[in-house]
Structure 1
């Protein structure tokens, strides 16, 4: 069977794009990548993106038929279900459902992390830090011996959380590192994810500089200590 041509429509900093990129790399799938400026969205992008957001996955079949997928979870599920390579979900239906629930939890965790990282004042940062640590505490209870969420096998939950933890690997200030001090399993997990080849390759080499530049533009409080 001829493989479709895959194009990931992207933004260099988007954590949801990273989910899809990680899955593509884990599945060892060749793909093209096109970055768009979300501050000045081109007309062609708005014409194919129902939400005006990334990621999009353009799927072009050998016969010329083309489809556009949007929303990162839908893209990742499509790749999981249709493409060869290692499965990123457990076989057991109940365990698989639990993993999908933790993926939803990952989106909520991302929101708390983003709020903390972009906070412009100490009260806001403290509030978001506490909320983020509450999420880490829940994860600590769910994690096993590692190195990944479900043990030895890298899975979809890992692909979802790796972009969140990448933020903190880029900054590594005393305040960001202290968030993980009470969570040894979570801390070991994030370090294992940061060393995974697919996670490393999901962003460009200039990602740290781009992310720090974003925080400076936002006048984020954290940048005073970086």
Structure 2
């Protein structure tokens, strides 16, 4: 059986995706955290883009290196049970499209917590709200994206929703309020063992320190709330 080594940054949501899928497959893996601000030479040799996650697959006496979270998730789903993607080609394509939507959501979230001024912060807040409205309209009865079956779309969105465990506390409001299906989905994901285990126990504290270090508008709100 293949051995897996996941090269990681502790706060990276894309790494969380890979870790969630590995956990859902029930396979052991080694996780190696690096400092993205001081990338080691061995990592730069492995990663053509200089980004995480990177999955090193040891099999049949050789090593292969995979990069990009969507590629890693697809490979794991094609080679390891249980299958998390739908079997139907059209439905599978639809799920892939929503995974791209999750990545676009993460891009807005990044802009939200790094926005230097209130105007940009508000623009990103509205962009996230618009995406969440679209999700609310798309979701069914739950508890997961495709109903009772956890899938790769769930693994893609869980790290995005996790940010709001901190954001909601800082701002005193939540974009999940008034969106009952989205709120229930978020809660179902937060209770899943693979999602909980994708980050360290001190994740929220580490994220808070990271955001404060950005000197952003959200960081100023956090410092004001703490004071």
Per-residue Cα deviation, 1:129-172 (whole angstroms, up to 9, x for no partner): 00011100111111001111111111100000000000101343
1:108-129 CA distance string (max 9 Å, x none): 0111112112223221111100
Aligned pair partner of 1:81 in 65, 78, 81: 78
TM-score after normalising by structure 2: 0.94
Structure 1 unaligned regions, length at least 5: none
8 Å CA contact 2:168, 2:174 repeated in 1:
no
State how far apart, in whole Å, the 2-side matches of 1:47 and 1:174 are: 39
Matches within 5 A, 1:1-226: 3-61=1-59, 63-84=60-81, 86-173=82-169, 175=171, 177-222=173-218, 223-224=222-223, 225=225
Distance in 2, matches of 1:22 and 1:221, equals: 31
Cα root mean square deviation, aligned: 1.3
Q: Would the aligned equivalents of 2:85 and 2:92 in 1 still touch at CA under 8 Å?
A: yes
SS in 1 for 2:75: helix
Looking at structure 2, the residues matched to 64 and 8 of structure 1 have their Cα atoms a distance apart, in angstroms, of 18
- 8 A contact 2:102–2:156 mirrored in 1: yes
Q: For residues 82 and 180 of structure 1, do their structure 2 counterparts lie closer, same or farther at Cα, with a shift above 3 Å needed?
A: same
Q: What is the aligned residue count?
A: 222
Contact 1:168–1:176 (CA<8 Å) still a contact in 2?
Answer: no
Q: How far apart, in 1, do the equivalents of 2:40 and 2:70 lie? A: 24
Q: Which runs of 5+ in 2 are unaligned?
A: none
Q: TM-score scaled to structure 1, two decimals?
A: 0.94
